[in-house]
Amino acid sequence: MEGINWSDLFTAMDRFLLAIVDRNVLLVYVVLFAIFFSETGLVFMTFLPGDSLLFVAGAVAAQEAGLHVGVLMAVITVGAILGNTLNYYIGAWLGKKVYDGTLKWVDPVALRKTHDFYERHGGKTIVIARFVPIVRSFAPLVAGASGMEIHKFQLFNVAGAALWVLSLVGGGYLFGQVPLVRDNLGIILLVGIGAVLGPLALAAFWRLLKRVFGARPPVQAMGQSAGVPSSTDRR
């Protein structure tokens, strides 16, 4: 589509959405449906923006009279529900292949993290994972591969999608009516992303430090390996 810079989807989401609105308001709904259907339905599309795009979409809806926030929420919610449903059936179809390493397009680290998450929280993972990038895309795959009953899955699926979209799009819509937020949306978005990713990065760094320093052998073993006699040897 001419006149739309697709790289803005990752660097300037408000400009990206406004460019589409200028061309055709209905096209915004189609594009956002496709993005959230793909991000939640296909694990190799996890690079697509999620939480931040929801917030920005709400803020843009507050500025653009032609973009109805209620329709926006409904379209994105349906896309997220259908995406998760597709992902669940892919997991159910693949079964144990999801875990045996034969699927090269499945990130083993993200899969293991999601599986552990699922083991701790059970069906609630489908709801909680909506707010956790990467895990959000793998949770329905793991649920399908683990044999979760479809009706139970859909209950958590619908509840999680509704809560996720309503809170983030609704929050963006409310804040988008504040002049300070509206005029500095790009900066606020970067601060928000940093606030989310900062603690995750620090936690990962802390785990790395504990792994590195925790792997050191005991002082006594180090001394013995270097040829230093033990108390028994000195007798």
DSSP assigned state of 125: H
Average of pLDDT values for 51-67?
83
pLDDT at position 42, please? 87
Q: In this predicted structure, which of 11-20, 79-88, 101-110, 159-168 has the lowest mean pLDDT?
A: 101-110
Would you say 19 and 64 are in contact if contact means Cβ atoms under 8 Å apart? no
Whether residues 229 and 131 fall in one domain? no
Q: In this predicted structure, which of 62-71, 168-177, 219-228 has the lowest mean pLDDT?
A: 219-228
pLDDT at position 155, please? 93
- Cα separations in angstroms, 110 against 10, 105, 167, 178, 212: 21, 11, 25, 37, 22
Domain count within the chain: 2
Whether residues 14 and 35 fall in one domain? yes
Q: Is residue 1 part of a domain?
A: no
Whether residues 65 and 178 fall in one domain? yes
Bigger pLDDT: 66 or 20? Answer: 20
Q: Is residue 3 part of a domain?
A: no
Whether residues 63 and 177 fall in one domain? yes
The structure's pTM equals 0.71
State the residue range of the domain holding 195.
Answer: 186-235
